[in-house]
Structure 1
Amino acid sequence: MSEKFILFNDERVDPSLIMTLTDLAQLLREVETVKVNFQKFAYFDLAENTINVAFKWKHREREEEMKLLKSDTILHAIGFDHTDLDVVEEVLDEQFRVKSFFQQLFMMIDEFRLMHLISKERPFTKKFFDVRIRAKLKENESQIKFYQTKAMPTDELFLQIEHTLLTDNILSFHTMFFTELEYNIQLALQSFYDLKNTEDSANLAIRLMLLIEPNLTKDMLNEYYHIPKLAYMNAKAAKKANLDKAKQDVSEMDESESVQTKQRDIETKSGAYLETEVTEGSNSNNIKENDREGDASDDITEMVMGKGKTKPPQTDAEGNDISDVVGEENINTKIIWKETVQDDKSLTIYNAYKEDVLKEIKTLVNVINKSVDHEVNAKRQGLSKGKLSRNLTQWFLDDRKRVFYKEDQKSYKLDATFMLLIDASYSMEDKLEETKKGIVLFHETLQQLSIRHEIMAFSEDGFEADKNIQPNILEQIITYQNSLQHQYSPNVVSYKTGEDNRDGLAIRIAGNMLKARQEKQKFLIVFSDGEPSDLIMNQMVL
């Protein structure tokens, strides 16, 4: 689910403004499908392929407004490629007492790093960033005056650091805290001009936090800089998926070349690679006296062994043999795998259903977050804070002097996966809308918690089923790999019902899929009216 900014008025955004920003975004990203949207905070959502610009730049003079919105577009269109998402994830995992202060401090430092980097790479962008800095400075000075009268030291200290970066004058930094802290912060900020990457920004933020945190009693009241956690996690997952696909393509290419080479080697030999002679009918010397006569559809190797036709193995979506899993009672089933296809109305319907269950989503998020086990991070070495390591060689070998470690600790991630199994038989037709709303509820909840999951519908083709073969359709609505990518969410409302259903078969296959997952806790949830109906059961009733 995207992190949306809720509009409480009917204001409409000028279409020409959106078109101008979209053209700029497509030019910078070199992707024709990238979009521009308005949100409370600016960021790039890779999964949605959307650059979000900040709504706060609206309601200014036309020229200033345009330059500020373009500065957002430039910053996130180019800056995203210079942001290390692994480092951002480490920042989110850091366990400072004033967590919001630390995360906003990191984002502020990294934003200034990116502005300097982009200005050097593309000098034309400097005029937009100059307008941005002037607007931010005006806003910053107004906020500092306000918080000085309200005695809110945490927000005031943050704004004083921002003021120092905006004015590009480290010596101008001052604080209500004691002089020694003021001097140490000025000293730490000197390294701001040497930042090369996201990790450097994180290290500077951590260094400042070690100085500042002992003097703070409360966390930030307001949010000035925002980490789009869900968008960044989805982007990281998408990048990993693309990398895995690229590796798979290379592997398949190598395998194809190997097969072609082997075939060429075979063709160069004098004789046939494998030759088998069989005479058809009862006179064949290879067929035993009591065996049946072969026909044209028999496999030649089976004829040699005295066998007739055999059934092909039943496979899962990845082509693995699961004949043992489905059991002897389902020996005549033919498993057909398909993927859900969205139509023009899918997104509209999905959003409407999501609105209907928003309240329930919040409740379920809290329930699952409290009930399900969290992942445990392994012991981390080479940190800038924590427990002092016994091995102090890094003190002499590492310029960053990272000689601390942290023991295993709970992660914000939940160590769980879910499988939602949907009865798609005709008896569910009159319950379809409520069923889909229930699926939307679970899907949105699991996305918010970043829990990977699968959603699969099952039905049996009653019209084609006979005693020899019973086609069973397993429709992958949401796969494990794309479960956190928002563009697939409308799949949830796009599946159709079939005729019959074979609950036991579907549950066996779903259980086998869950078994292969690495998560500690595995949950199987079945949406069904409890009325199984297939060819065998119907014959028993008759």
Structure 2
Amino acid sequence: MHRFIAFNDEKADTLLMLELTDLAKTLTKSSLYEAEIRAHSYLSKRERKVFVSHFWNHRPDWVKKPGMKSDVYLRALGNINFTDFQDVDQFRDIISASPIPRFAGHLFVLAEDLRIEELCKKERPGMAFEFNVRRKIYTEYFESQLIVNLEKNLFIDALFNLVYLILNSGSPVLAIPSFNPEIDEGIPLIRSELENFYETQSTRSVADVCLKIVERAAQVVKTDMINEYYHLPGQEQNLLDDMSFTDLLRKDPLQNDDTVEEKTGGDEELHEEEMGTWHRETESPGKSFMQFNLDQGTKTDIAGGSEREGEEGDQALGIVQGRSKPTDKKEYSRMELTSMDELESPNGKIKYGTSNKNARSVFLKAGRPDKEAVAEYGKLEKEVKFYHKKLKNIIERIMEKKETDHRSHLQMGRLGKNLLSFFTDENPKLFYKKSEPGKEIDASFILLIDCSASMFDKIEETRRGIILFHEALKSVGVPHEIIGFWEDANESSVDEQPNYFFQVIPFSVSLHQKTGPEIMELEAMEDNRDGYAIRIVAERLLERKEKEKFLIIFSDGEPAAFDYNNGIVDTHEAVMEVRKKGIEIFNIFLSTSGLEFEQKKVFENIYGNRSIIAPYVEELPDVLFPLLKNILTKSIYM
């Protein structure tokens, strides 16, 4: 089996991938589908993913975005609605015995894409622009590939390139290069068969034309294709995950395939019989059971398939005339079966994102710190004491000022003595309010610390930043929680990925004077599944009664965990979900060797303008101080 590499080192354009995912959900009319980049574009109904081709990466934006959208159009609208996957499976089985199966598969995918492209444009004319860009770029690409493959004597690959150019040529006259005498002689016959693609109306007809062309091509070429231009999926498109009611109906033929010659006249007598069945309300089993295996008989044109779902008020045995009535139940012949994922979506695992459906949370509590941890904490606390004392003084001054401020020139309140502005100003503000006492900061925080293995050389400096946060928040009476998170790579499998949440300091003891040394238990561990962790701790934060809620994430890199290739997009979605619920979320990016442009772009894509960079981890206190000051000041004035 030919496989291709997943490009894990590529930096995903998060916003574009979210746009493509939304497009896939809209066109498939299913919230379970996602878009993802692979070497080639195809639809996976089993994984519920629309794969976009890596071919479009590293191209100008005017090419990249329309090209990727055209992939989504073909898969999410074209393949879903216009491709018969049973015919695809049959074609795949047939070409397995062909001497050139890869050429056959490429030809089939190309022809089917061209057929469903026209159907997509007919249903949605607005897609024409993206398809025009797609055709232009692919034509230029295959023209260059034709030259390269001829120079390398890869004649079968060059023949496929030529097939694409013939099918997509905007000119009736196309210069055909010379291959070798044998192939040159067979090209006119192949070209005449290619014209039949323009008349295909179904996946089956595309397959029939492909088989004829493959048969002719096999007579003039010696080997199969080497290059991979398209991908004909195998079990990824298994029908078991998206079966309709019609798929469950019997389709195997009778032993005798004949039909009565006499037509029905409409006055036929239909016989109904009562048949005993055995169920839990039957006192004793009968001699017959409701089981039939009908595989013999003659087909008639008597109408059938008029069954409907029973309703309250219907008789158990519908043999009495005159009791039938129209039903308000659904017509199941056109409905898709509900999947287990959809059934679980309201309250099940799906609420943490489809990429985390097998993730499991495990909460751990900190132990009692030993003398060594207490001594080390005291040393680090002294290093940041200047910052949190300064912050405490600033906050206290702000609160005192607010308590004594006289607020006038308001649009509501008590009427002031100076009414001159009523005659001089277009929008006069004549009211004032009495001074009100200062209030406590109505906010709560969760500090979420990435404890992945890559934090090994940063965890000590990170502790200093965490200590600054803890001592500063404790000094001004703001409840908070400190949680480290990681995923155990050794325990993770396809069915389950345990994610650990280490509650270093919970809300219940965050303001106690002696808390803090527990922070020294934070260590670098395994992987990090950021999107899942954000959703889990956000639930804890939403349970708090404080008006303002903040989630601060300390991390040093991109999400990386078992089967989490879509981690950047999933984390961005988690951030957006949390912000919609009223939680302010910030990211503190940590580094020991400076910041690369690509890293900065990734974090800006995930967190927007709420990503704060600490180019060197030693500068963490200097970065955190202004952030804390701004957040707490805002909370006072809310």
TM, length-normalised to structure 2: 0.39
Q: Quick check: which has more Rg, 1 or 2?
A: 2
TM, length-normalised to structure 1: 0.46
